[in-house]
Structure 1
Amino acid sequence: MSTASYTVTGMTCQHCVASVTEEISEIAGVIDVAVDLPTGAVTVTSDDEISPDAVRDAVHEAGYQLV
């Protein structure tokens, strides 16, 4: 199992959190996504290491930016 942390900018509400969580959850191998709205911290737990580019693309698809 692998865990990686990222920072996402632009999230302002629970709808934002849900959008980011949904998009990242669609990446193959992702087991869990935890988003902390006040800090923008996103923790992704997966079966194997996930490419940061895949996470960046998912965050972008949700309408936000990965720092």
Structure 2
Amino acid sequence: MAFIFDDDINYIFTFCKSCWDFSKFIFEIPLDFDKEEQREGLCAICNNKQRISLIDPKEYYEKLNEDNV
């Protein structure tokens, strides 16, 4: 399944440093992977805020998209 960066999403799944779990992080406005390097998101499990790097997930999904072509 390809990840489309042009679609507006306001969440990302990543590791939470507070609850030590792989969690959904929710953001107030949709993410812009081309203009932002990091953003503060709210963990859906523990409700703590954490700065999330957007560079690593973008590179990961770009690599997956390349492999699935």
TM-score, scaled to structure 2? 0.34
> Which structure has the higher relative contact order (CA within 8 Å, separation 6+)?
1
Higher share of residues assigned helix: 1
Computing the radius of gyration from Cα coordinates, the structure with the larger value is 2
